Amino acid sequence: MTQATTALPPHVHDLTLTRLIPSTPDKLFRAWTEPELIKQWFVPKPWTIARAENDLRPGGQCLIVMRSPEGQEMPNPGVYLEVVPNRRLVFTDAFTAGWVPSEKPFMTGIISFDPEAGGTRYTAVVRHWTAEAKAQHEQMGFHQGWGVCADQLAELVARL
């Protein structure tokens, strides 16, 4: 595990969400890494998480299976690139377990938990491979969807 450097230079294909959440970095990290907690906040309701698996180490698998209200399941496999407990998670869908390249890489997620007065600065940077992928994610409702999820995350960690 490496030291966290949370300030990232912006990239042209980034979508970013940041919030000051009145909680501690360790609670936010738990909510991002414990499968039973992930299931409680990770998708906007009425969507749910059918399955969540994490192997918290660089090269370890991360898998989240989202379920639509109609029951359609959408698996999202990937691997962790960086894990800094209570500070930072970096993962990508460019690879699956065992460093097997995925058929269509879409994004890399860079999640930071920075303590500051009033709580933790939660920052989610989603870096896309192409301008088209970024535009697609915006059209899918990135800002609204990730915003709703950040609200659900804040509600969850307030109860931890």
pLDDT (0 to 100) of residue 5: 47
CB 58 within 8 A of CB 72: no
pLDDT (0 to 100) of residue 1: 41
pLDDT average, residue stretch 29-46: 97
| 108 found inside a domain | yes
pLDDT (0 to 100) of residue 8: 62
| 4 found inside a domain | no
State which residues form the domain around 84: 14-159
| 2 found inside a domain | no
pLDDT average, residue stretch 6-28: 88
pLDDT (0 to 100) of residue 97: 86
CB 110 within 8 A of CB 87: no
| 44 found inside a domain | yes
* Interval 93-120: pLDDT, tens: 999 988 999 998 999 999 999 999 999 9
pLDDT (0 to 100) of residue 4: 46
Q: Is the pLDDT of residue 70 over 80?
A: yes
pLDDT interval class at 2 (50, 70, 90): very low
The dihedral through the CA atoms of 127, 128, 129, 134 has a sign that is: negative
Number of domains composing the chain: 1
Give the DSSP letter of residue 152: H
| 1 found inside a domain | no
pLDDT (0 to 100) of residue 134: 93
| 79 found inside a domain | yes
| 5 found inside a domain | no
* Interval 107-160: pLDDT, tens: 999 999 999 999 999 999 999 999 999 999 999 999 999 999 999 999 999 999
pLDDT average, residue stretch 21-49: 97
Helices assigned H by DSSP within the chain = 25-33, 35-38, 131-139, 142-159
pLDDT average, residue stretch 29-44: 98
CATH of the domain at 24: 3.30.530.20
Mean per-residue pLDDT of the chain: 93
